[in-house]
Amino acid sequence: MECRIGVISGDGIGPEIIAEAKKVLNKIGETCGHTFHYEDILMGGCSIDATGEPLTEEAIAAAKASDAVLMGSIGGNTSTSPWYRLPPEKRPEAGLLRLRKSLNLFANLRPAYLYEELKAACPLKEEVIGDGFDMMIMRELTGGLYFGERRTEETDGVLTATDTLTYNEHEIRRIAKRGFDIAMKRRKKVTSVDKANVLDSSRLWRRVVEEVAKDYPQVSYEHMLVDNCAMQLVRDPGQFDVILTENMFGDILSDEASMVTGSIGMLASASLNDTKFGLYEPSGGSAPDIAGKGIANPIATILSAAMMLRYTFDLDAEAEAIESAVKQVLREGYRTIDLMPQEAAGVTQVGTAEMGDLIAARV
Ligand code: IPM
Ligand code: MG
């Protein structure tokens, strides 16, 4: 198969983790007879430095012309980087939001799974972890507070900032259907998360989710308030199968879920529209504090590449080969520094490139 992949290495640890994902993909290509064509696309701080814009029209066109986009991470230190002295629409994150919107990537899938081997890195007590957990966070990605009208104005010497949270029923329906579709392929349970005790947008969310649920009689579903969900994630993460939620809640809950898997460096993600196209990226950020040190965990990016093979290219066996190579490397005791338990008996600490080599060698 010929696959045209747009590659956004981005900023911080982005280029380092992307290099390892390409290493693993190339190994898959050799072994299974696929050709991966990569086209570099600029986005984020590096694009600001080169062009003055976090995302140019050419970059959007290049992304649209690809079958899929694999991304590292964008952005820098928000207190010290000169990128954050620019107006908000010129900052690195604005590029990512614009790309999500331009490509209509409304469905963001973030799987959070506890590897048996990483129980020691999980911050929860053993009795809470129980048999582990395996959940899929389905986050709406092109609506809500992220894309509502916003402004800051001064009246009588007082500054007031406004952000608006808007959802229409179509936006809710399409993401809810995706959530229930995914649940049908999993353990058939949806937890729809909202703040319906306060917000109108959440009350509409609930109504539409209830309508959609009628078409999926085999799926059991429940509504959960977002504050309770944040608590349940650390009280009993094993209760969740699919968490279906809006943009901002999903942003926050997915970071929390990733931390209970042991490290944010393990969490892959896929952002999908109505076609086979997808943007695949680790859920973690650009980690400017460790950039260039060769210690970042490339696993989330490698697992994002596996999601790309599965969702865009329908290469399920190849995706599984990557996922089991990751498991094997963990089983053999190799860890990047973020996954090292306090007492490290029987585990070997490795750097970014070595982790990529180990995984590539096992696919
Ligand atoms: C994420 C990130 C982004 C988001 C930032 C970089 C804009 O935190 O993908 O979760 O908030 O969506
Ligand atoms: Mg986030």
Give residue 344's pLDDT. 67
Q: Are residues 295 and 338 in the same domain?
A: yes
Q: Is residue 116 situated within a structural domain?
A: no
Residue 117 lies in a domain: no
Active site residue 195: yes
Q: Does any domain span residue 310?
A: yes
Q: What is the pLDDT of residue 152?
A: 95
Percent above pLDDT 90 for the chain? 91
State in Å: Cα 251 to ligand 1 middle: 6
Q: Is the CB of 241 under 6 A from ligand 1?
A: no
* pLDDT the model gives residue 346: 85
Which range marks the domain in which residue 215 is found? 123-260
Domains identified in the chain, total number: 2
Alpha-carbon distances, residue 14 vs 8, 72, 102, 303 (angstroms): 8, 4, 22, 15
pLDDT digits (tens, 9 = 90+) for 3-61: 999 999 999 999 999 999 999 999 999 999 999 999 999 999 999 999 999 999 999 99
Residue found under tokens 């990733």: 258
Residue 115 covered by a domain = no
Query: First and final CA of the chain: distance in angstroms?
Result: 18
- From CA 218, how far away is CA 53, in angstroms rounded? 48
**Is 214 in the same domain as 164?**
yes
Q: What integer pLDDT is reported at residue 264 of this predicted model?
A: 84
Q: Is residue 176 located within the same domain as residue 273?
A: no
pLDDT in tens, 64-75: 999 999 999 999
pLDDT at 284: 85
User: For residue 281, what are the CA distances in angstroms to 85, 171, 258, 321, 358?
Assistant: 26, 23, 14, 19, 21
pLDDT on residue 169: 98
Task: Mean pLDDT check: name the lowest of 119-128, 221-230, 337-346.
Answer: 337-346
Q: Which residue has the tokens 């900023």?
A: 11
132: in domain: yes
What atom of ligand 1 comes closest to residue 269's alpha carbon?
9
Q: Are residues 256 and 268 in the same domain?
A: no
Verify that 313 and 340 share a domain, yes or no: yes
Whether residues 309 and 228 share a domain: the answer is no
Task: Indicate the pLDDT class of residue 342, thresholds 50, 70 and 90.
Answer: low
pLDDT at 336 over 80: yes
The active-site residue out of 22, 27, 67, 146 is 146
Provide the pLDDT for residue 343. Answer: 64
- What are 268-279's pLDDT values in tens digits? 999 999 999 999
One domain, residues 255 and 268 = no
Which of 167, 251, 334, 338 is the catalytic position?
251
Residue 281 Cβ < 6 Å to ligand 1: no
Does a structural domain hold residue 147?
yes
Q: Kindly state whether residues 165 and 239 are assigned to the same domain.
A: yes
Query: End of a domain among 235, 260, 285?
Result: 260
Task: Give per-residue pLDDT as tens, 112-147.
Answer: 999 988 888 889 999 999 999 999 999 999 999 999
pLDDT at 47: 98
Asked if residue 171 and residue 90 are part of one domain, the reply reads: no
pLDDT value of position 259: 87
Q: Between the CA of residue 6 and those of 130, 185, 186, 290, 329, what are the distances in Å?
A: 40, 29, 30, 25, 28
Contact of 280 with 269, CB cutoff 8 Å: yes
Let me know whether 101 and 61 are in one domain. yes
Q: Assign residue 341 the CATH number of its domain.
A: 3.40.718.10
- CB of 16 closer than 6 A to ligand 1? no
Which pLDDT band, with edges at 50, 70 and 90, does 263 fall under? confident
For residue 127, is it within any domain? yes
Q: List the residue whose alpha carbon is closest to atom 7 of ligand 1.
A: 93
**Do 146 and 254 lie in a common domain?**
yes
